[in-house]
Chains A and B, each alone.
Chain A
Amino acid sequence: MQPNPSTVTSGAVRRGLQGSGTHWPSVVFQVLLAASLLFTLVALLVLLADVLGRGMPVLSERGIDFLTAPLSSDPAKAGVGQALWGTFVIGVIVVGVAFPLGVATAVYLEEYATGSRLTRLVDVNIRNLAGVPSIVYGLLGLAVFVGLFKWLGLGNGRNVIAGGLTVAVLVLPIVIITAAEAIRAVPISIREAGYGVGASRWQVTAKLVLPAAFPGILTGIVLSLSRALGETAPLILAGAVLGSFSSGNADLLGQLLGPYTALPMVVYRWTTLPQDEFRQLAAAGMVVLLAITFAANGLAIYLRNRYSRVW
C-alpha cells in the first residue's frame, strides 16, 4: 500500500530513502574481498622486493657482462648469455610454430567445422590437453623431437630446436583455446553482414572475423609466450643442459644443433649450487626473466590498443 503523497512529510521520505542503516553481511563480504586482494598484492610485492633486493646488486655491478657472459663454475664470471640465447630461440620457435598452427586450428574449429560431433570431441580434448602437466610434454618432446633429430643424425638430438618445438606443443592448446574464444566473441551479425554482401567464407574469416578477433588472439599469444619462456620441466627432459657447457666458436647452425640451456633452467641450476654467490646470480637471472615477461606483456597491450584504434 502506497502512502498518500500529500500526507508524507519530507522527513519520512528522507528516512525511507536512507534505509535502515548498515547492512552487515555486505560489509563483511566487501572486507573479505578487499583482504584477498591485499593478500595477493602483498605476496607479489614481497616476492618482487626479495628478488630485486638480491638480484639488483649483481646486475648493477656486472651490468652487460652478466647478460652476455657464458655459464661458468666461477660465480664472478658466470652470466646468462647462453641462457638468453636459448630462451630467445625458444621464443622464436614458439611464435613461429604454435601461433600459426593454433590460430589456424581455432579458425577451422570455429568457422569451418562448427557443430559436428568430431569438432566437439576435438574441442573437449584440446581443453583437457591444456591441463596436462608440462612434464608430460617433456616426455613427448624427448620421444618425438629429440628422437627425430637423433634419428636424422644431428648429434644426440638434444638441441634448442627440439626444446622449442616441445614448448610450442605445450602452449598450443592454450593458443587454440584463447584464439577460439576470441573468434567466438565476434558477433554473428558481423559475419552475416559480410555474407550479405556476397563475401565468401574465406573472405568473411580473413577480412572481418580475424581482424575483429585480433586483439583477443594477441592477448592469448602473449600469455602463452610468457608461459613458454618460464617453463623448466619439459626442457629438462627435452635435453636442456643443466651444467655449464661451451658453445665455443660454433656458427649459428652449430649453436642451433648443439647443447643449449634457457633462463629458467639456469636460475634453477644456480639455486641448487652450494655457494651463496650463485643464489644472488639466480635472483639476478629471475629479474631478467621477469623483465622479459613484463616487456612481452607490455608489447601485447600496446599492440592491442593500436589495433583496436584502427576501427
Chain B
Amino acid sequence: MSIDSVTVTEPVIRLEAVDLYYGTFRAVRDISYAFPANAITALIGPSGCGKSTLLRSINRMNDLVPGARATGRMLYHGEDLYGHGVDPVEVRRRIGMVFQKPNPFPKSIYDNVAFGPRVNGIKGDLDDLVEASLRRAALWDDVKDKLRQSGLALSGGQQQRLCIARAIATEPEVILMDEPCSALDPRSTLQIEELMLELKTRYTIIIVTHNMQQAARASDETVFLTMGDDRAGYLVEAGTTSDLFTNPRSQLTEDYVSGRFG
C-alpha cells in the first residue's frame, strides 16, 4: 500500500489499557485503540460485551451510573478525559451522543435543537444555527413549516434525525452513536447512514451497531469486541472495515461477521 493511499490523521481519541467497572464487576478489560479523525468507526460484538459501556465512558456519560468507574487512560487530543480537574460537562460538549432510542426533549422541534447552544451560551443567530443543524441532519425540509410543534410528534426516523441535529448543534468534534438505527425501518436506516457519510467530513463518528451490513457499508474502521470467560469484554481485532470483513485474522471475528456466532 502506498503511503498516499491512506489518510494519515492524528487520532482524536486514544484509549490506553482501559478497564471499565460497574462496582466490582469488570465489564470491559484492557482496551487500547486510537480512533482516527473524520472517519466512522464501528464498534461491533455480541450483546453484553460492553460496547455501550465503552462508548458511554468516552464522553463520561457513565459518570451518571452509580458505581461505574474507569481505569487506564482515555486521551482526547492527548489530554486525559478522566484527568484531574476535567469537567465532564465540557467533555460532553465536545463529544456528543446519539442514543439507541430516539429521545427528543418534550419541547418544540426548534427548542430541541436550540437547547444545546443555549445551555452552552453559544453566541450568534440561533435561527441560523437551528436551520443549519436541521439541514445537516437532512430534516429541514420535513420540519421547516412546523418548527414550533413538539419534537415528539415526529416519526421515529425523524425523531432520530432530530436527535442528530440536536447533537451537532453544539458543534462537537466527536459524535458517539449507540445503535442509532435499531428502532428504525430500513429506509430511515439508509437515510441515517447517508447522513453519517456526509457528517464525517466535519465530525469523527463512533457508532455501535448490531447490523453487520451497516458496519460494512457505512464505516471506515471496525473494532470487534467479545466477552471472555470472566464476562469482561475485550478487543479481539480492529482495523479498516474492508480488511476486517474480508480478511479477518481471528477465527472469532470471522465467525461473528459472517453471522455464525453472536
Residues of A participating in the B interface, judged by any CB pair closer than 8 Å: 114-115, 187, 189-200, 203, 207-208, 211-212, 311
Nearest residue, chain B, Cβ from A204: B119
- Bound-state Cα–Cα, A177 to B92, Å: 32
Pick from B88, B90, B92, B101: contact of A197, CB below 8 A: B92
Is A196 in contact with B61, judged by CB distance below 8 angstroms? yes
For the complex of A and B, the 7 pairs showing the least CB-CB separation, nearest first, are: A198-B93, A197-B116, A196-B97, A189-B103, A311-B106, A199-B119, A115-B66
A-B residue pairs in contact (CB < 8 Å), sample of 28: A115-B66, A187-B103, A190-B105, A190-B106, A192-B64, A192-B97, A193-B163, A193-B166, A194-B105, A195-B92, A196-B59, A196-B92, A196-B96, A197-B116, A197-B120, A198-B89, A198-B90, A198-B92, A199-B116, A199-B119, A203-B119, A207-B115, A207-B119, A208-B105, A211-B106, A212-B106, A311-B106, A311-B107
Contacts of B103 in A (CB 8 A): 187, 189-190, 192-193
Pick from B64, B105, B116, B152: contact of A198, CB below 8 A: B116
Number of interface residues of B (CB under 8 A): 31
Contacting A at CB under 8 A, from B69-110, are 88-90, 92-94, 96-99, 101, 103-107
Nearest residue, chain B, Cβ from A208: B105
Contacts of B104 in A (CB 8 A): 193
Q: Does B218 contact A (CB under 8 A)?
A: no
Contacts of A194 in B (CB 8 A): 105, 115, 119
Contacts of B166 in A (CB 8 A): 193, 197
**Whole-angstrom distance from the CB of A307 to the nearest CB of chain B?**
11
Is B61 in contact with A192, judged by CB distance below 8 angstroms? yes
Is A198 in contact with B99, judged by CB distance below 8 angstroms? no
- The A interface, classified by DSSP as helix, strand, loop or mixed, is helix
| Residue from B59, B99, B115, B166 whose CB has the most chain A CB atoms within 10 Å | B115
| Residue from B97, B98, B103, B170 whose CB has the most chain A CB atoms within 10 Å | B103
- List the count of A-B residue pairs having beta carbons below 8 Å apart: 74
Q: Does B169 contact A (CB under 8 A)?
A: yes
Q: Does B57 contact A (CB under 8 A)?
A: no
Contacts of B242 in A (CB 8 A): none
Is B93 in contact with A197, judged by CB distance below 8 angstroms? yes
Residues of B participating in the A interface, judged by any CB pair closer than 8 Å: 59, 61, 64, 66, 88-90, 92-94, 96-99, 101, 103-107, 115-116, 119-120, 150, 152, 163, 166-167, 169-170
Contacts of B116 in A (CB 8 A): 197-199
**Whole-angstrom distance from the CB of A299 to the nearest CB of chain B?**
23
Given contacts A190-B105, A198-B89, 12 further A-B contacts (CB under 8 A): A115-B66, A193-B105, A196-B59, A196-B61, A196-B92, A196-B97, A196-B98, A197-B93, A197-B116, A198-B96, A207-B115, A212-B106
Contacts of A115 in B (CB 8 A): 66
Contacts of B167 in A (CB 8 A): 196-197
- Bound-state Cα–Cα, A193 to B167, Å: 9
**Whole-angstrom distance from the CB of A119 to the nearest CB of chain B?**
11
Is A199 in contact with B115, judged by CB distance below 8 angstroms? yes
Is A198 in contact with B120, judged by CB distance below 8 angstroms? yes
- Bound-state Cα–Cα, A208 to B119, Å: 11
Nearest residue, chain A, Cβ from B113: A197
- Bound-state Cα–Cα, A199 to B118, Å: 9
Nearest residue, chain A, Cβ from B163: A193
Nearest residue, chain B, Cβ from A201: B89
Nearest residue, chain A, Cβ from B88: A195
Contacts of A191 in B (CB 8 A): 64
Pick from A195, A203, A311: contact of B61, CB below 8 A: A195
Contacts of A114 in B (CB 8 A): 66
**Whole-angstrom distance from the CB of B182 to the nearest CB of chain A?**
14
Is A192 in contact with B99, judged by CB distance below 8 angstroms? yes
- Bound-state Cα–Cα, A115 to B23, Å: 13
Pick from B59, B89, B105: contact of A200, CB below 8 A: B89
- Bound-state Cα–Cα, A114 to B67, Å: 12
**Whole-angstrom distance from the CB of B227 to the nearest CB of chain A?**
25
Nearest residue, chain A, Cβ from B59: A196
- Bound-state Cα–Cα, A190 to B93, Å: 16
Nearest residue, chain A, Cβ from B151: A311
Is A197 in contact with B119, judged by CB distance below 8 angstroms? yes
- Bound-state Cα–Cα, A211 to B115, Å: 14
- Bound-state Cα–Cα, A89 to B119, Å: 39
| Residue from A192, A197, A311 whose CB has the most chain B CB atoms within 10 Å | A197
**Whole-angstrom distance from the CB of B166 to the nearest CB of chain A?**
6
Contacts of B119 in A (CB 8 A): 194, 197-200, 203, 207
Is A199 in contact with B99, judged by CB distance below 8 angstroms? no
Contacts of A193 in B (CB 8 A): 99, 103-105, 163, 166
Nearest residue, chain A, Cβ from B91: A198
